[in-house]
A = this chain, B = another copy of it.
Amino acid sequence: MSAGINEVEEPNSKVLRLGADAPLQLESGAILAPLQIAYQTYGTLNAERSNAILICHALTGDQHVANVHPVTGKAGWWLSLVGPGKPIDTDRFFVICSNVIGGCMGSSGPASINPQTEEPHGTDFPVLTIGDMVRAQARLIDFLGIETLLAVVGGSMGGMQVLAWASMFPDRVFAAMPIASSAKHSAQNIAFHEVGRQAVMADPDWRRGRYVLEGTRPVKGLSVARMAAHITYLSEAALQRKFGRNFQDRDAPTFSFDADFQVESYLRYQGISFVERFDANSYLYLTRAMDYFDLAADNGGSLAAAFKGVKTRFCLVSFTSDWLFPTSDSRQIVHALNASGASVSFVEIESDKGHDAFLLEEPNLFATARGFLDSAARARGIKEAGR
């Protein structure tokens, strides 16, 4: 479909293919079958099948957590956190990450071929929810023969999936770690997503979602969407610290619409590089799933009811300068978990890096993850690495 993305049908990943005999019923009422789930694993599942950690990726992430990315050639997006001896220690844990359905790295999504038409789905792909993503992941966990995950961990949209896992499959989640996330998408966040979708759909090369068939790609629209979103991932302080009002390769303004300022040049690069690795329709579907996420609404208006009787132990993390998923969002979840009698710890990490902090070198995040997972592993009787 693009120069960059040839991962849709035959990804550089393990693949679970479920046929028409195992249809996935979606929240919309639509049926998804066949269903393909692309995933990566790291480490070894122990004999007791008790050491599996599922990582859930964010909006523009994928399953390539800790290996070189097959499209960009860059290091895995959470290589700082996941690997031998790292906080999510692959010498000790069996780590799984699957591309979400609706994505474009090998799991069924709008870029996948619709077997009925033998053309890419485009916008005839059913609109999904976070819950649907989790139901698909549960199929993979079934397939891997894992009854109860040691932990489900993820940031941002990944954190939404963690919360949905604990709410929908409480017996299958021993520990849950939602990072920089929320139990519902805010009006402001819906608004930013809507801007991004309108930018994509305004691009005449979007062709009502049929761009692959028509040999075009809405690169300009998707690039603008990414630029707008990227601002929300950083804090004002981080932008000030990194770029301020510095000029890019010049000493004075050009009095033109060139990228005079470093921050402009940086944003343009973020937009351009994103379109090389991401499918525009997937962007529409995944932002929509996040907008629809409202765990309280799904449980009669009570967030505590979403976690009723849950035995999962929780650790929530937020970052002080994150204005997309602010600490107040995490605190709301903590209150609901307390109300439902769950075991919960909460760490607000001081950082000026904004929402992006969950992907960056944050020693306090690493220490928190290590401590929480180590404690969960010991509670579950999992041996330390190398013993």
Q: Complex Cα distance A239/B189, Å?
A: 10
Q: Complex Cα distance A243/B197, Å?
A: 19
Assuming A194-B227, A228-B195, is B123 touching A257 (CB within 8 A)? yes
Interface members, chain A 220-273 (any B CB < 8 Å): 220-221, 223-224, 227-228, 231, 234, 236, 239-240, 242-245, 253, 255-257, 259-261, 263-264, 267-268, 271
Binding-face segment, A59-67, A76-84, A159-167, A201-209: A201-209
Interface members, chain A 305-333 (any B CB < 8 Å): 323
In addition to A185-B245, A194-B263, A194-B267, 14 A-B residue pairs with Cβ atoms within 8 Å of each other are A27-B255, A28-B255, A126-B255, A186-B236, A186-B245, A187-B236, A187-B239, A187-B242, A187-B244, A187-B261, A191-B227, A194-B268, A202-B223, A323-B323
Is A169 interfacial (CB-CB < 8 Å)? Answer: no
Evaluate contact between B257 and A288: CB separation under 8 angstroms: yes
Evaluate contact between A190 and B261: CB separation under 8 angstroms: yes
**Interface bin, chain A:** 35 or more
Please indicate which of the listed interface residues A27, A194, A197, A221 has the most CB atoms of chain B within 10 Å of its own CB. Answer: A194
Binding-face segment, A37-45, A87-95, A289-297, A367-375: A289-297
Evaluate contact between B186 and A239: CB separation under 8 angstroms: yes
Q: Complex Cα distance A203/B197, Å?
A: 15
In the assembled complex, which residues on chain B have CB atoms less than 8 Å from the CB atom of A243? 187
Assuming A187-B245, A224-B198, is B284 touching A257 (CB within 8 A)? yes
Evaluate contact between B231 and A201: CB separation under 8 angstroms: no
A336 CB to closest chain B CB, in angstroms? 16
Chain A positions 83 through 119: 1 when the CB is less than 8 Å from some CB of chain B, otherwise 0:
0000000000000000000000000000000000000
